[in-house]
Structure 1
Amino acid sequence: MKLPRVSAVVAAAVLAPAVLFPSTASAADAPQPAGVSGPDTASGSAPDAAPTEGTDGQEQRDRAEIQRILADKETGPGVREAAEKALKGGAAELRHFLEVDLAKQRGDDLRVKVSQIMASGGPAVRAAAGKALDGGDADITKFLKEGWPAAQAEDQDRAEIQRILADKETGPGVREAGEKALKGTAAEMRHFLETELPQQRAIDNRVKVAQLIASGGRAVREGAVKAMNGSDADITKFLKEGWPAAQAEDDRVAVLVVLADKNISRDTAEAAQKALNGTPADVAHFLQVELPKLRSDDNRVKVSQIMASGGPAVREAAGKAMDGSDADILAFLNEGWAKARALDEAAANKPADKPADKPADKPAGQQGQGTQQPQTVQPAALTGTTTDATGSGSGAAAAAGTGTSTGVGVEATATRTGTLAATGTDGLGWEAGGAAAAVAAGAALVAISRRRSAES
């Protein structure tokens, strides 16, 4: 019974290596499960090394560069169209656009841009753009970066000088220097604007203020003298601010002078008072526009009155004046009336042509006596309308005292109080009872005169 137990122990000891070791070797030779990779014993590299970059990376970079070009607002239409077409293609189309199409399309777009600039630019811009278009791509690029801004500045300077010359307020010194600069180079135009313009403008301003001192009203003269004693800045400030205020003051004085004349018509007085109740602009408008017209109407009424009561020469001269312009009316009142009246007075004082009496026909007591001269009738008085010029204003204010004095310049027999001599016609003075008839006839003659003017 002991032998079999010993044999079993020995057999187990002999079979144990065969059972254990073959199982270890077969594990290495057995197939691995799918999806599981074993260690790379041949390469010897680390398991997490990055793979080498291929063509996919270059394509992504090209696509990003084209998208950046499209996002640029300065990209022209030709480049934009070609880029959008390339983005729809593959890597080869992207690369071809960047290496070939981009440069060509960009050059074409720049030339189109220069052509547009040339069409809308000034003289200097057009000249520079045309010269660039005659050159190569480098000339086009240089024009856009340097030539265009310089040409624009030149054209702007030219336009500014032309604007200055077009201003009616530009003085003679500035005008002369500006015209000279326009005929010169870009540098000369720039020198005029930066240096000559302020100098010449200061001189012109002083000349203008000196003229205001000579011709302005009291307020204008006082302000102008004060400005002349100051700096160029004081002169400029006076012309911009002081002069308008002083002129408005002088204009009101001129209207008050018009109202102070007792011989003005009712229409003139009403218009003058209305202007005084308004703004400085209303006052200036009255003096510059309304007053000359009102005085013209008053002068025509005056001439019609003279015509109705005057002698033959006066009536003839007055009729011609009534058929003429306002200037003819004023000329008659200032000169023609006196000349015509002198003719009528000379005719009235001329001895009558009678045959000499025979001595035998006269009584003895009258032998040897001369012919009796006709008695000269003193001319009747005709009340006129006179307005004294005050000289208290320039511009609009001066209008209040010029060209409207009916009787100013007539011979000394016409007094400043408004009494104007008649023309030697007997019995036609206002005191003889003919005033109403003369006024009525004058109104009719005014109407006839205006109708003739309208028909002609």
Structure 2
Amino acid sequence: MKLPRVTAVVAAAVLAPAVLFPSSAVAADAPQPAGVVGPDTAEADRPTGAPGPGPAETGRPVGSEPGTTAPEGGVTQEELDRAEIERILADKDSGISVREEAQKALAVGTPEALRRYLAEGLEVARYIDDRVKVFQALAVGGPAVKRAAVAAVTAQTHSALIAFLKEGWFTAQAEDDRDEIERLLADPQTSRRLRLAAQKALDAGTTTALRHFVEVELADVRAGDDRVEVTQILSKGGPAVQKAAREALNGSYADLVKFLKEGQFAARAEDDHAEIERIVADPQTGPHTRSAAQKALDRDAAGLRGFLESELAAVRMSDHRVRVSQIAESGGPAVRQAALAALEGSDQAVLGFLEYGWDAARAKDEAAAKAGGQPTAQPTTQPTEQAPATTPAPQDTATAPTGQAAPTGQVVQAAVGSTGSGTGTRHAPTTRATTTGTVASRPGQLAATGAEGLGTEAGAAAAAVAAGAALVVVSRRRRPTED
């Protein structure tokens, strides 16, 4: 008997089994037509292209030829074969090679062609289709499925392929499903909802429960988690991110996945670029920050994000420290002390000084200035309020006894010595003869107030007061003589 002839497509499938076609996970041999015995195990294990079964293997009596009348019912073998081939074509589980060879046999139409297909071509076509199914499982399966599929293909027997498709595939798939569920449970990123569903399937322990979770529940729970994640991104994102997130939430699940994988990053880069442009345009931005921001505008999406998350705080702190240094140079004692303390401290200390420490220190300086200026504006003792004969004027403690009134000439000289020519320059000590004796006058001391070392304005005011007091004293002393 000649070897069976197959089509170019069938031969290509045998030589290149990596060509995959969608098919179901279970394949079974089609029942044989009435009066024909199907291939036994030996026939299934027969290598491709081996001679077909003889009369003893087919169950036909020796000398029985296709097209002859059957022993009972008056139906010919050709009619039985044609009906069986048509049934195979109507079976939804028939593979591509099986269908193609069946259609060719019907197209030839001779009793010999029909019998040859059922006796030999059908088994070869089934072997090719089952081999393709195993390679399909190998391509998409997990580690356990891949190992079982490789073992079935390596055996090079049809029975090994059938055993894998009927049982081995499902056993290996259950092992892979269990491993996938355990991996989800061990992943810290797994959401609470997904974790509960995975644990429930794992506790059930059946292959059906494991497969249902992986094929159905996993996608549903992840879709809910993805929607929650998009909503969270929407609440924290900028204008562009918010717009893209809303569009994803209003679309399909594929839109959600695309936003999480791509859309959010493109929208965030747009928001980051706009934020850096705002920093550059802000008049309150320091020089170091503005320079760094201008350079960051030329970066890609990752560079923009890196500037805002990592570099911006550092350059801003540099500008803050420069500002505090400037305040320390121009501020009062309290401000200077607080500013220098902040510069020696942490970044939080610098920020705290700028936020509230500066105002507090400046208030201290202003209060100290008001308290220190009060004696200058209001002398401790007013010369005009002193009695002319009994209340002594302030004098040098080295020459004037306590309780003795200073001579008129000494008062005037003290006033002149304090003010000089109006520039605040002190004069050398001088002596004047008075009616009570010679008294040395100390430069820089005001006769009426006892203030010493005052500035030009304070000295002039005090001199005026002292001069007025001296004139009052002189006028009162001369009044009895004139009378």
Bucket of the pairwise TM-score, normalised by the shorter protein: 0.3 to 0.5
Structure 1 length-normalised TM: 0.44
Which is bigger in relative contact order (C-alpha 8 A, separation at least 6)?
1
Structure 2 length-normalised TM: 0.42
